[in-house]
Structure 1
Amino acid sequence: MAQKTMNYVNQLRALMKNPKYVKESLQAYIIPSGDAHHSEYLAECDMRRAFISGFTGSAGTAIITESAALMWTDGRYYLQATEEMGEGWTLMKEGLPVTPSQGKYLSDNFSEGSRVGVDPNVLSYEEWKIIQNDMKGSGVNLIPIATNLVDLIWEDKPASPSSTVLPLAIKYTGKSCKHKVEEVRSKMAEKGSTLLLVTALDEIAWLLNLRGSDIDYNPVFFSYVLVTQTQVHLFIDESKVTLAVRNHFNEEDLPVNIHAYNKIHSFITEQIPEQTGKVWISSDGSYSLNSMVPEKIRISEITPIALMKAIKNTVETQGMINCHIRDGVALCRYFAWLEKELQKGNAVTEISGADKLEQFRKAFNRPKAYHPRDSKSLPSKGHQESKSLPSKGHQESKSLPSKGHQEGKSLPSKGHQEGKSLPSKGHQESKSLPSQGPSIKQELTVQGPSRDQELTIQGPSREQELTVSKPSGEDLDDFMGLSFPTITSSGPNGAIIHYHCTPKTDRPITTKELYLCDSGAQFK
């Protein structure tokens, strides 16, 4: 793999001097980890840094010069980067006092007049300013290169995702997209803004009450949104805009103008001269889009949507609570199962354990996966059997995680459990931990118009039982998937930050070693 990536590096160096793509030769080329929306987690088609280097961690920046290939990444990935990149690459350990910033390295190692290229679509305006400031006074120039040079050598580059976009009903969101847009316009008026450009995918999904799956483990879809005081423009691959999406906008009374995804730059060019107020675009947006707006009329603060979605409404808050109950049950069932299996002497490995945990999360939404305790526990005639979701009529929500998971993107912050299934008014919840000699019994009860939920963990074997009312069929698929690949590690693997288990590294889980399990799930 190391030899293969160095071949790519050498091809890139040739392109850095090719007048067909650069006006003047480049002495260095920066390859960030991000995409055009500054996403932390990427679709395969945007994993350019991983392609050129072999390093697959979620954070890192590569810089290719005429004689060196360097990778900046933080302490989570020192070991992984070293193993995956191999010979020919130099690891720049971010966070250590001896490691210079990217801009400082470039200014110290290149002479005045040197040119450093980067694709302005995948570097945020904020990141651009940081590098440029670090090089200030050195005479080294940061140059936007319109054509991404990595794409030119990536022959089998995956196509851009084209997953279907789905509406998220108001029973999950608690507020219509029309209401949200009205609140955004009010915030714009306070700032004297007549145009807001939204580039963050989680903010777009939250604003429009839509969900997608263009990026694994993130309920987002590639798009841009432009909001004025009278119109909303959505830039998206039009094949994703189904009849269900159009009906959703009609039902929530929000007229939306649909444009092709790749028309955003030309549309902004047309709109700028017409503005009587300021243009609001977050500095976390791309340098390419930010630089199109004259600085004197540009508001570079975070968008009002970022703050609005951070403050949950009643539906979203209760949904988050119920989500944690639901996912907590799955974790309790998994650990109870794991303890039993190990006591029996059955083999469980890091991979098989993670697979079993995912099964428990899926099963919690599917009554057939449960077995009655005995004949006495069967529901009486007329009662419905177990499942975790509320009955029809319950209000539910899902919040997208914020960056940094990535916990919660409120589009899943990049990577943890998220809200759903809200009980109707009057829903009460209780939790008690009575002591019973050497055993510990824990009961969790969630009661509502048509749901009773009970979780019991007993004795040293921690037997677990769950009884809930079966919801209507429309609620059976509310488990949407994991928040991120489960980090499951046994023994020494638990000391590896952001450890990713493979068949080669898979170890058995035993009662004689530490076992670490870091996981999360997404629900509507």
Structure 2
Amino acid sequence: MYQDFAVRSRPSDGPPRLAALRAVLAEQGLAGFIVPRADAHQGEYVAPRDARLAWLTGFTGSAGFCIALMDRAGVFVDGRYRVQVRAEVDCATFTPVNWPEVKPGPWLAAALPAGGRVGFDPWLHTRKDIDDLQAALAGSGVDLVPLARNPVDAIWPDQPAPPAAPARIHPPEFAGEDSATKRARLAGGLRQRGARAAVITLTDSLCWLLNIRGADIPRNPVVQGFAILHDTGHLTLFAEAAKFARALLDHLGPDVTLRPVAAFAPALRSLPGPVQVDPASAPLQVGRELGEQGIEILWADDPCILPKAIKTPAEIAGMEAAHHRDAVAMVEFLAWLDAEGPKGGLDEIAVVTALEGFRRASNALTEISFDTICGAGPNGAIVHYRVTEATNRPVRPGEILLVDSGGQYVDGTTDITRTIAVGPVPDDACAPFTRVLQGMIAISRARWPRGLAGRDLDALARIALWRADQDYDHGTGHGVGAALCVHEGPARLSRISDVALQPGMILSNEPGYYREGAFGIRIENLVLVEQAPPLPGADDRAMLTFATLTWVPIDRRLILAEMLAPDERAWLNDYHAQVLHRIGPTVSPAARAWLATACAPI
């Protein structure tokens, strides 16, 4: 049942592959090439065909990039991946670079003399990416050169084929709004902005707008393709016809025209302007195709991105149902783990396999929502750790285990992290675990005025850690799709997010703490933004709050109760009472007995 979809290379593969890339660059008179972790759709996850960064360097994280020059090759990664990158790449050949502290523009300007030409694939970078980099290189004499063919593809002899999984209908009872209504609503917005058409390149936007789902990207129910939405509501879909059965074409209706992907660029060149293009998600090449024909471009957000994030009542109901189903699986799993873990016979792959089995036992799972993060002991300190046969570690009694996982169901998407004591509790983990819990509770209980963004709430999750000179190098939460991608924009709980939170948005709430070489701690629930009920005697002010969607116990053995304030303890006890009430009646008798103990008040 355990599957590893990542394109992987051994560290020893990196040097010869980099040498081959440098030979191609030298033939083209280039001083370097930028290799992003991206495809033409700018999603977080890529198909094996597009895993160029992993193939070249060995780094398999979900964010980062390599700048390969003739005398050095930097692999730029953020705080989530700084332990992981050192384990996956040949550090004598590739130099890990702390990004965004070190930015690519100054790094390139310092590494190259004036006249240096650095290539990039204009289908794999957005306009914003390249504009920012060019601005940073101003005055350096270093030029960025768009290339007609990606040189990594030229040296990758067994590059996988493009994905070709069949698409499927997303049932209207789960979407809550039919595609024609969505298209008409968005087309009205185009007319108000004076745009004749909008280009849509994000796969989850495409799937949301057409009420379809697919399996082109592992763990993400999306169809790869591009679309042009016209101000009439008509949509031209550029995707391979083999993915679309007759019933699905009938579902799309007469106002959706299906054309091959190869027709996308020519279609752009014949559009009447203005054409709305998202500078932060559309490939730079889209703007180049339009610009070369003199077609006016209206730079604005993907028109689907905010409507998609604000869930319909039907989507919220589906997410609630999916979370109840998922909680049953998680409780059965945690009861099993509590019995088997202390015996000392498990490893990380065994835990991952068992957890997926409990989810599949519901007969409702379509796919897990991302590769399960299961970090035993020091592996838990690797924030986005993915177990492989090479890294698989025993689950040892006396250590803690971090398990971050989720499920894709036809009606919803889940994402949950629990940190679990295996046998005897390690004393040095309890204080940071309690601080992480305090941060999770603070977000869960937050009330705030309408108009505030994730950056305004993020500190609430960190204050208890900050008081101990501790922190974590990732955002506190991300948006989550409804039976779509587990990571969804535009809203986040992050110090860099300025998108106002609105009722109907669903986000994760996942503070953490990581001690390299020892353990990792993260506690994650999903929460729904909703209108806050008025308080007695309060001002007449519109306030928002979070409703919890995840109902799974938090390991009480790792909590130092004396560190909790009375209101924090009350929240935790109420949460566990709700878990027992909601989930207890639907699990097996053995799991119910375990749950009663796990949910006892402190």
User: What amino acid maps onto 1:262 in structure 2?
Assistant: A
Q: What SS is found at the alignment partner of 2:196?
A: strand
User: What amino acid maps onto 1:117 in structure 2?
Assistant: G
Offset, 1:90 = 1.1
Q: TM-score, normalised by structure 2?
A: 0.64
User: What amino acid maps onto 2:184 in structure 1?
Assistant: E
Corresponding residue for residue 289 of structure 1: 286
- Cα pair distance change 1:11/1:502, threshold 3 Å: closer
- Cα pair distance change 1:507/1:7, threshold 3 Å: closer
Q: How does 1:433-512 map to 2 (within 5 A)?
A: 478-512=364-398
User: What amino acid maps onto 2:242 in structure 1?
Assistant: S
Q: What SS is found at the alignment partner of 1:488?
A: strand
Match of 1:163 among 165, 180, 184: 165
Q: Distance in 1 between matches of 2:17 and 2:147?
A: 18
User: What amino acid maps onto 1:287 in structure 2?
Assistant: L
Asked whether 1:240 is paired with 2:243, we answer yes
Corresponding residue for residue 461 of structure 1: none
Corresponding residue for residue 36 of structure 1: 40
Q: Distance in 2 between matches of 1:46 and 1:89?
A: 20
Q: How does 1:266-285 map to 2 (within 5 A)?
A: 266-271=266-271, 274-275=272-273, 277-285=274-282
User: What amino acid maps onto 2:95 in structure 1?
Assistant: T
Offset, 1:297 = 2.8
Q: Distance in 2 between matches of 1:189 and 1:10?
A: 51
Asked whether 1:12 is paired with 2:15, we answer no
The number of aligned residues is 397
Q: How does 1:85-484 map to 2 (within 5 A)?
A: 85-86=89-90, 87-96=92-101, 100-230=102-232, 231-250=234-253, 254-271=254-271, 274-275=272-273, 277-294=274-291, 297-342=296-341, 345=343, 347-365=345-363, 478-484=364-370
Q: What SS is found at the alignment partner of 1:159?
A: coil
Structure 1 runs of 4+ off > 6 angstroms? Answer: none
Q: Deviations over 1:189-235 (max 9, x none)?
A: 12111111000000000000111111101111110010112321000
Q: What SS is found at the alignment partner of 1:4?
A: helix
Asked whether 1:26 is paired with 2:30, we answer yes
Q: Distance in 2 between matches of 1:280 and 1:504?
A: 43
Q: Distance in 1 between matches of 2:316 and 2:305?
A: 17
Q: What SS is found at the alignment partner of 1:270?
A: coil
Offset, 1:183 = 0.7
User: What amino acid maps onto 2:289 in structure 1?
Assistant: M
Q: What SS is found at the alignment partner of 1:516?
A: strand
Offset, 1:341 = 2.8
Q: Distance in 1 between matches of 2:320 and 2:279?
A: 31
Corresponding residue for residue 592 of structure 2: none
1:113 and 1:139 in contact (8 A); partners too: yes
User: What amino acid maps onto 2:243 in structure 1?
Assistant: K
Q: TM-score, normalised by structure 1?
A: 0.73
Corresponding residue for residue 71 of structure 1: 75
Q: Distance in 1 between matches of 2:219 and 2:378?
A: 27
1:124 and 1:286 in contact (8 A); partners too: yes
Q: Distance in 2 between matches of 1:115 and 1:95?
A: 23
2:81 and 2:384 in contact (8 A); partners too: yes
Q: Distance in 1 between matches of 2:300 and 2:94?
A: 37
Offset, 1:115 = 1.0
Q: What SS is found at the alignment partner of 1:304?
A: coil
Q: Deviations over 1:133-169 (max 9, x none)?
A: 1101212111101110000000000001110011111
Q: What SS is found at the alignment partner of 1:293?
A: helix
Offset, 1:281 = 3.7
1:283 and 1:300 in contact (8 A); partners too: no
Greater fraction of residues in helix: 2
Corresponding residue for residue 417 of structure 1: none
Q: Distance in 2 between matches of 1:44 and 1:296?
A: 34
Q: Please, which runs of 5 or more residues in structure 1 have no aligned partner?
A: 366-477
261-270 vs 493-502, which deviates more?
A: 493-502
CA RMSD across the alignment? 1.8
Q: Distance in 2 between matches of 1:227 and 1:514?
A: 50
- Cα pair distance change 1:321/1:62, threshold 3 Å: same
Q: Please, which runs of 5 or more residues in structure 2 have no aligned partner?
A: 1-9, 411-602
Larger radius of gyration: 1
Q: Deviations over 1:35-79 (max 9, x none)?
A: 011111110000111111122221111111121122111122222
Corresponding residue for residue 475 of structure 1: none
Q: Distance in 2 between matches of 1:110 and 1:190?
A: 47
1:192 and 1:278 in contact (8 A); partners too: no
Offset, 1:13 = 1.4
